[in-house]
Chain A
């Protein structure tokens, strides 16, 4: 730090930034955060306002940070690999005296990977930077047991981006010790080809400690699960054969627990007036004119979305999985969108064939109107034409509706003639007329016998 300090003379901004990064790295490693702020103050001493702010922050931190550890480097232990001190795989185990009572002797955080709470008079080294807080405020933990460091880095990066706190182990002994000290995890990833001890054996050892531990076995050298030797020893454990993000995500999602009735009920209770109103109107708007929606009202659509969520748990996994890292409200928007999306059978009629002479024909040309969604198409056309008739004397509304039908977004429509305020007022008019109570706010097309 002394060298860094002496070099910071407010010269080239890039060089200064690089030196600051080094200062920050060293400061964090040595648990000497205040030195970083000293270095920062040096670089911006030409700007009194910023320098004053930095000084304020430094003083604030000084009150929180415990007295410097005389041998800070020795108190930091790496979980599995002491030979690569700067690599991504290192999970520093914090000494108990730094983190306070929420970390045990092994360095495993309490509460299945939850970040330690900020202790008064303590500075939770690194914790705020290690993992972003997921939307439900709960961190998940993962253990990656992978001897190949590049693969380990890849899995770690992926899991971290998905809000997991990740522990890594390159050898079976380290993995089992880590699991004993820190387990269970939300997910444990084990490479089948682990040296010394096969991945299947490691998995079996872990299952002896916790038979419910969700796990994934990485076996990328096999093309199908049937080819994997001893596969039958691990019932219900998914194998990751194809090394792609999408496949990994799919396998990972399968391990996520289905929402329980109690969780859904709690989330419904927590919905605010505005959230409930928005959901209702969103459902109403989607259901009323969409060809893909066979539901009678927006209410039916909302109920179907909730029912499918619970069906996952209680109907043999046929429902929709609520990833509880997003709010129930956001999840329901996605479910509603999915339920009202046009179905394949509805799209079939849109297939247009072209013969050798370039003449176009459609399956609809030769079938009765009741087949292949033709009836639905006619109804949709009629419904939407009805909308257009409502606004025939409102040129601004017609302009917006036409823009929407052309797939134009708000900024394109406002660029093409309407001001931002005019657009907002016009869309509000459209909403009030189409979704307001005088127009059957329940989305009840069937209530008035139209369908």
Chain B
């Protein structure tokens, strides 16, 4: 059991390091990487801005508290297949 716990503990460092690797990238390298992956950085950024703004909008506080769920808007929808319009 202990070995197994240690194993999972170790594995959990992977996503942490993966996230930290994003912080190490320069702006240019990050945007190039996003473009290379076939996504429009500008479009993705605006979608993220929209996501953040939704959380900051006063009229939706109650709704967000009770239902932190799917995030879609009228223009963009993020699915398991990526960003689609």
Contact = CB atoms under 8 A, between A and B. Distances in A.
- Could you tell me the dominant secondary structure of chain A's interface residues? helix
B22 A278 contact: yes
A432 B5 contact: no
A286 interface: yes
Interface residues on A, range: 35 or more
A427 B10 CA distance: 18
A107 interface: no
A404 B11 CA distance: 8
Interface in A422-450: 427-428, 430-432, 434-438, 440-442, 444, 447-448
A434 B18 contact: yes
Contact of B79 (A430, A435, A442): A442
Contacts of A401: 14
A299 B51 contact: yes
Interface string B43-84: 011101101111110100100110011110000001111110
A431 B55 contact: no
A431 B22 contact: yes
B80 A271 contact: no
Given A265-B56, A333-B23, A447-B79, A276 B68 contact: no
B80 A268 contact: no
B23 A296 contact: no
B8 A300 contact: no
A384 B16 contact: no
Contact of A441 (B5, B25, B49, B82): B82
Given A272-B27, A304-B68, A384 B82 contact: no
Interface of B: 1-2, 5, 7-19, 21-25, 27, 30-31, 33-34, 36-39, 41-42, 44-46, 48-49, 51-56, 58, 61, 64-65, 68-71, 78-83
Given A306-B55, A442-B80, 6 more contacts: A268-B52, A280-B44, A299-B78, A304-B55, A440-B81, A442-B78
Interface of A: 261, 264-265, 268-269, 271-274, 276-282, 285-286, 288-291, 295-297, 299-300, 302-307, 310, 314, 333, 342, 349-350, 352, 360-362, 364-365, 377, 380-381, 384-385, 387, 401, 404-407, 410, 427-428, 430-432, 434-438, 440-442, 444, 447-448
